[in-house]
Chains A and B, each alone.
Chain A
Amino acid sequence: MTTTGPDDHRHRDAATLAPFFAAARRDEPAPPHYLISAILADAGEVSATRAAAATSPAVAPRAAARRRRGGFLAAVGGWRVATALAAASVFGFWVGLSGTIDVGGRVGWTTATVETVETGDPVTEFFDLASAE
């Protein structure tokens, strides 16, 4: 009686697969030209960045700070929006301090009279305050 060992299995597997691997190897495309161009462009960019950092180390932090400021302005919508936002903030602060606002000749009060009942329960007091007009 013959038995098959691990080596027999290996040889049989190898014999089964050899023509498949041979066929698959023939079907292997080269990387496209645009990929090679992109890789070389990356190489040039990394070199240029490295050279710039080596020649002017003091410029890098300033550039980074500029990028950060630019990022904030871009996030709020640009210079005009940032200026309007600052003006609105100052106006709101003034209203808060003076307590009045003149709307079309009438004066509206911005402070509210609130009567609260001391319950001793912070949750109840919070909702009382939030619903007060």
Chain B
Amino acid sequence: MRTSLDGDLGVPDAELVARYAAGDQSAARALTERHAPRVFALARRMLRETAEAEDVTQEAMLRLWRIAPAWEDRAAVGTWLYRVASNLCIDRMRKRRPISGEPLPEVPDEAPGVLRRLEARDRAAALDAALAALPERQRAAIVLRHFEDRSNPEIAAVLDLSVEAVESLLARGRRALAAALVGRRAELGFIE
């Protein structure tokens, strides 16, 4: 069976969008495999709720399908999707009740070396709770930089800000996170 990854691995995003617009569903599959996991991860980190992250991912991809015939190389597809998803997340965060400090639901772990995994999970949960306390744009900038490995100019394009403003957001975000976590280092297994 031919999967989209067999032949589309090196194909540029813009070409896949054009092929999808011409009716090629394998191009849609390739774009989904390439971008949906990143959009989902971003939304999950920002919203801290899996079901809402799924909704945002589906909505962002749907907007790509709709805009495909008019794409015309307007931006990098990944940056455009991050932008749509970030805006959808920020809208949802503003509408809903204040976010609790509860950590993200855990992924089941049945692997050996459980103690080490539990320690890593506790650290991830502590970071997650600290992230939840950040203002929306700081959180978006931190997630894009440290989880999605986006450059500052890319984050500026996603959040529609200047690069300097992104640097400032990141510095303030990191400062707040470090302040929240530095006192928990011993508790979380870091040797001082």
Contacts and interface: CB of A to CB of B under 8 A. Distances in A.
Interface in A23-60: 23-32, 35-36, 38-40, 42-44, 46-47, 50-51
B107 interface: yes
Interface in A7-35: 9-10, 12-14, 16-17, 19-21, 23-32, 35
Interface stretch (B36-44, B84-92, B133-141, B158-166): B36-44
B155 interface: no
A42 B62 CA distance: 6
Interface SS majority for chain B: helix
B20 A43 contact: yes
A14 B178 CA distance: 8
Contacts of B147: 21, 24-25, 28
Interface string B118-134: 01110110111000000
Contact of A16 (B50, B106, B178): B178
Nearest to A42: B62
Interface of B: 20, 23, 25, 28-29, 32-33, 36-37, 40-41, 44, 50, 54, 57-58, 61-62, 65-66, 68-69, 104, 106-107, 119-121, 123-124, 126-128, 146-147, 171, 174-175, 177-178, 181-182, 185, 190
